[in-house]
Chain A
């Protein structure tokens, strides 16, 4: 099945620093989303981005579907950015069914 790999697995930043998180996937996908899981366990949608570039405040994301990767940029990081960032890809299978597969995440800690 499709593999989703995220890097780096862990990241520690000083408040105000910038960072780039990467998501590689092993096959073509129909859908790609980035999520933030906060320290309380809530999963929050960040971007739906199967291709192209989107920005939302200090966050932006770029997906290059032909090269099978997506990047999440965090600028001027804040302590509230801490948590785990997941990439999830969705794919319609030959049977017509659909699956979302999650990467193992990047654990981010932003220090004050």
Chain B
């Protein structure tokens, strides 16, 4: 019953440091997504992938990179963290588009100081 798993759950970074968030799903989903959620706001799409080896930009892609080398994993990288990237990051996955529910991980709390 793993579903969508994110690691790490919590992290504190210094400005300029780099890090990678890992998302893993065991549902054989084609689509995977990274969102960020800021206080009092909805979720905004950072990047997404429609299949292994593919990635695409979402609404707020600047400062982030992603990779989908394996179907079950979607990595989100911050090359040089900034305080504006302090947020809660959610990974999600779905089989495809129409008719398919999107499932979320439990979130990763990132603070950049």
Closest to A42 in B: B106
Contact B42 A103 (CB under 8 A): yes
How many positions in chain B have a CB within 8 Å of any CB in the partner chain? 28
Which residues on B sit within 8 Å (CB–CB) of A105? 41-42
Please tell me the size bucket of the interface on A: 20 to 34
Q: Contacts A41-B107, A90-B97: A104 and B58 contacting too (C-beta < 8 A)?
A: no
Q: Contacts A97-B50, A99-B45: A43 and B56 contacting too (C-beta < 8 A)?
A: no
Main secondary structure of the interface of A (DSSP, over half): strand
**Which A residues are within 8 Å of any B CB, using their own CB?**
1, 4, 30-31, 33, 35, 41-43, 45, 48, 50, 86, 88, 90, 92, 97-105
Closest chain B CB from A9 CB (angstroms): 9
**Which B residues are within 8 Å of any A CB, using their own CB?**
31, 33, 35, 40-45, 48, 50, 56, 58-59, 88, 90, 92, 96-104, 106-107
- Nearest 3 CB-CB pairings of A with B: A102-B42, A43-B104, A102-B43
